[in-house]
Amino acid sequence: MKFYSGLTIFILSVIPVFCWSQEIQIIPKPVSIEPQNGQFIFKKGIKIGYSNDSIREIATWFMTKFNRPTSLEANLQKGNSGEIILDVNSPKNPELANEGYELEVNTSGILIKANSKTGIFYGLQTLTQLLPPGIESNSNQQIEWSVPCVKIKDFPRFSYRGMMLDVSRHFFTKEEVKKYIEEISRYKFNRFHWHLTDDNGWRIEIKSFPRLTSVGAWRVPRTGTFGSADRKAPQKGEKANYGGFYTQQEIREVVEFAKGKGIEIIPEIDIPGHCMAAIAAYPELSCTKDTNTRVNAGNKFSDWFGNGTFKMNVDNSLNPSDEKVYQFLDKVFEEIALLFPGKYIHVGGDECYKGFWEKDQGCKDLMEKLKIRHIEDLQGYFMNRVKDIIKSKGKKVIGWDEVMEGGMSNAATIMFWRGWQAKDILPMAKKGGYKLIMTPTNTNYFDYYQGDQTIEPPVYASLRLKNAYSFNPVPPEIDEKMVLGGQSNLWTEKVENFRHAEYMTFPRAWATSEVLWSPKGTNSDWNDFIKRVEFHMPRAEMAGIKVAKSIYDPIVEFKKIKGELWVELNSEVPGTEIYYTLDESMPDQKSNKYSTAFFIPLEGTPNLRIRAFRNQKPIGNLLTYNVELLKSKMK
């Protein structure tokens, strides 16, 4: 098969013509989609042609994935012939840049053209989404294998499209991390931010400091709500056996795996705060040098106040006045730089409590020597020292937005997260000339619960899919040229296993991927997006990915009106109907159908039960609000 400009489809007498445009449900949405008449039907023994050896590995990956459920025994051949052709452009197409691709399907075959192997990989991910859901199965699927005819041109809006996974609060195995990377690569993410260290565990082997993992990677086991006062601190003599870490060989394996998926890994070593695990291993790194410091077990060790300030009751910060701390960090980052070939290292910089610095004589002497009066400037001194260390390793620094407050050099890239302070922080970034990666809490923090609070894990804030899809990477306070891209973050204080991590990630990560990849304004069409989300849910489940169905749970809002409690119900998903009961019965399509806000008499009222239906069948979860919860809404 050969492709020419303006190719004529000539097998109409052999293959029936169908309009398959309704099956083209791609996430993230491409730059342009031109549905064509017809379909390409796969036959046994099809050939996959690849233009040069640089993309052989990717072609092999697709062949293996395709053959597993189809049993069509596709095979590879070098060159520009075959029913599927993968062609690296020569010369390059400037419109596609490094990650773009063109995909053409007609009744005689499939062509993917790109400037790089990454572009070819993304083109194959889109082709996979055009195939029936059975392509995600590990067992043979007895169906007709076909894809709709279409022409697609696609390239990303932003160069940085990231997902962060916190492995410090709860350890995830090497294989689980690889699975997570594979899952986000399906949706054209190109950065994996690996949060490797924090108060609750140090997860990466550093050969220069073996106690970072022999001590810092393990904590005493605990159950109960993470960070609550009833979760006990480690007791004297109690064995620390909960946790784990990655050897340097395992790190290299994950890095190489991610590279094959077009993903660069951004390692994070969170400093100068969030260092309790490191200090438990090496107490001399802190101001207090407390040898009783233990890796935090999820027990409460800080007090947070309503104005956003806080106090740490245990010293969890590195000592900025001690030269041995910088020698320690030089050796740590030396090993980190050798393990991760990407250009960035994330150094944290967030939520650093400085109360112990203020009391430390060494810190006071350093501030006098530097002629600085504000303790925040001492963090700026520390972070600029760290920036120079990392620069000496041939890397660039990323830090959370707090690092600007101490005057860190704009050679660092800022990861903006404190959405509630946008009007202060973003103008500061603009004035300072920083590059930004946008990850605001209100649209990009995936540890927030995503459905109804009665059935979701207890977290202090909510982030439904529709809110995630409203993410604006370029708010009015800044210029688009400042923004490298964006990222969503999964902190895992209350995510104890990998299936839960998947549940908290998908489908919200699909919203992030579309905002960062697709053309500006794409996320203004919620109804179109939710239709594609519903199309992708069974595909993800067939691939073994646990997907949250929270979008089907009604949105319940309580209002106090003249001393009475009223309830408003809504839905994220078009085409659903909501039924409720106040008589202890389970709601069905014969119960009260919601149409407008209703009053709940609190005296003698039984449980309020709510459920969404579609096509006369229940969809989503049954929500139950008991009397005590209803009464609490009046307080």
SS3 state of residue 143: coil
Closest CA to 465 of 544, 540, 530, 519: 530
Asked if 134 contacts 116 with a C-beta cutoff of 8 angstroms, the reply is no
The values of phi and psi at residue 147, to 5°, are -135, 150
SS3 state of residue 378: helix
Q: Which two tokens stand for residue 321?
A: 């006045």
DSSP code per residue over 423-458: HHHHHHHHHHT--EEE--HHHHBTTSB-S-TTTS--
Neighbours of 367 (CB within 10 A): 20
C-alpha–C-alpha distance, residues 295 and 318, integer Å: 15
Asked if 413 contacts 434 with a C-beta cutoff of 8 angstroms, the reply is yes
Q: How many residues does the chain have?
A: 635
The DSSP bridge pattern shows strands 577-581 and 592-593 to be antiparallel
Closest CA to 196 of 183, 188, 205, 207: 205
Q: Is 274 a catalytic residue?
A: yes
Q: What single-letter DSSP state applies at residue 401?
A: G
C-alpha–C-alpha distance, residues 266 and 250, integer Å: 16
For residue 161, give the H/E element and its range: strand 160-166
SS3 state of residue 337: helix
Closest CA to 382 of 314, 290, 318, 286: 318
Asked if 260 contacts 194 with a C-beta cutoff of 8 angstroms, the reply is no
The DSSP bridge pattern shows strands 598-600 and 564-570 to be antiparallel
What residues contact 584, with CB distance under 8 A and at least 6 apart?
606, 607
Among 176, 330, 350, 351, the one annotated catalytic: 351
Q: Which two tokens stand for residue 318?
A: 């590195």
C-alpha–C-alpha distance, residues 268 and 254, integer Å: 15
Neighbours of 278 (CB within 10 A): 30
- Beta bridge partners, 437, equal 415, 485
The values of phi and psi at residue 547, to 5°, are -115, 135
Asked if 303 contacts 311 with a C-beta cutoff of 8 angstroms, the reply is yes
Peptide bond into 554 cis (omega under 30): no
Q: Across the chain, which distance is largest between two alpha carbons, in Å?
A: 88
Q: Is 351 a catalytic residue?
A: yes
C-alpha–C-alpha distance, residues 256 and 277, integer Å: 27
Assign residue 432 a region: left if phi > 0, alpha if psi is -120 to 50, beta otherwise?
alpha
Burial of 256 from C-beta contacts in 10 A (0-12 / 13-18 / 19+): exposed
Alpha helices, DSSP H only, in 445-576?
A: 465-469, 498-505, 508-517, 526-542
Angle, helix 498-505 to helix 508-517, in steps of 10 degrees:
50
C-alpha–C-alpha distance, residues 319 and 529, integer Å: 49
Among 99, 136, 183, 198, the one annotated catalytic: 198
Among 170, 193, 274, 536, the one annotated catalytic: 274
Would you please indicate which residues are annotated as catalytic (active-site) residues?
198, 274, 351
